[in-house]
Amino acid sequence: MKIIFATGNVGKLREAAEVLGPDYEVVSPASLGITEDIPETGSSLQENALQKARYLFERTGLPCFADDTGLEVDALGGAPGIYSARYAGPGHDSQANMDKLLEELSIVIPDSDPESRRARFRTVVALILADGEPHFFEGICEGSIATERRGSGGFGYDPVFLPDAYPGRTLAEVSEDEKNAVSHRGKAIRAMADWLKAFRLEP
């Protein structure tokens, strides 16, 4: 079954295709000629994921899913959350976002105790099948924020995120397979794949 994943990111497409297995052909919007930016103006991860999935469903009628992720830092009241991609303002990159995060955290928490620096990545996936009804799946990766960047792998906030699953290493210091095994997005997409397997008679 053909299923659209609302992303242009090749790594995300590959990961989803691996998790969903050979019964599903995971395709990007661009491969169907949808190349414009998909609006993302909701006030929660769930709203954003649903908005993106709906946008594609309305244009194609095909099964589709979309993800939205936020980094939630307890000491910052859950920020940057849905603003993770543009925490340092529009047009700023991941380096600027990490600078701002470390700066804000150093004001609130002067010490390096991981317990006071607790954080998590949260991903919500919205899935829409032929009947147009949305289904939601969540994945969480617990950890803490490092006091400085370490590692060169991954993307986004990976160099400052210490996952509980790999003590002493940031997400930018683990392999792609190690990250996918514990990542918020991997868990959310696996939850969707398990649901599809359990509740649908055929793909």
Binding site for ligand IMP (CB under 6 A): 67-69, 71, 84-85, 94, 97, 121, 154-158, 171, 183
Nearer Cβ to ligand IMP (24/157): 157
- Structure letter (DSSP) for residue 153: S
Rounded to a whole number of angstroms, the minimum distance from the CB of residue 82 to ligand IMP is 8
Rounded to a whole number of angstroms, the minimum distance from the CB of residue 150 to ligand IMP is 13
Rounded to a whole number of angstroms, the minimum distance from the CB of residue 113 to ligand IMP is 22
Q: 145, 183, 195: which is closest to 12 by C-alpha?
A: 183
Classify residue 92 by burial, with Cβ atoms within 10 Å: 0-12, 13-18, 19+: middle
Rounded Cα gap, residues 165 and 162, in angstroms = 9
Catalytic residue among 23, 68, 99, 111: 68
Q: How far is CA 192 from CA 56, 152, 173, 183, in A?
A: 18, 30, 27, 14
Task: State both tokens at 42.
Answer: 């909701």
Contacts within 8 Å (CB) and 24+ apart, 101-105: 101/71, 101/73, 101/145, 101/157, 101/160, 102/145, 102/147, 102/148, 102/160, 104/76, 104/79, 105/73, 105/75, 105/76, 105/145
Rounded to a whole number of angstroms, the minimum distance from the CB of residue 202 to ligand IMP is 30
Partners of residue 125 on adjacent β-strands: 67, 137
Nearer Cβ to ligand IMP (5/57): 5
Rounded to a whole number of angstroms, the minimum distance from the CB of residue 94 to ligand IMP is 6
Rounded Cα gap, residues 195 and 129, in angstroms = 12
Nearer Cβ to ligand IMP (17/85): 85
Which residue, judged by CB position, is nearest to ligand IMP in the bound state?
156
68 included as an active-site residue? yes
Nearer Cβ to ligand IMP (111/164): 164
Nearer Cβ to ligand IMP (20/158): 158
Residues annotated as catalytic are: 68
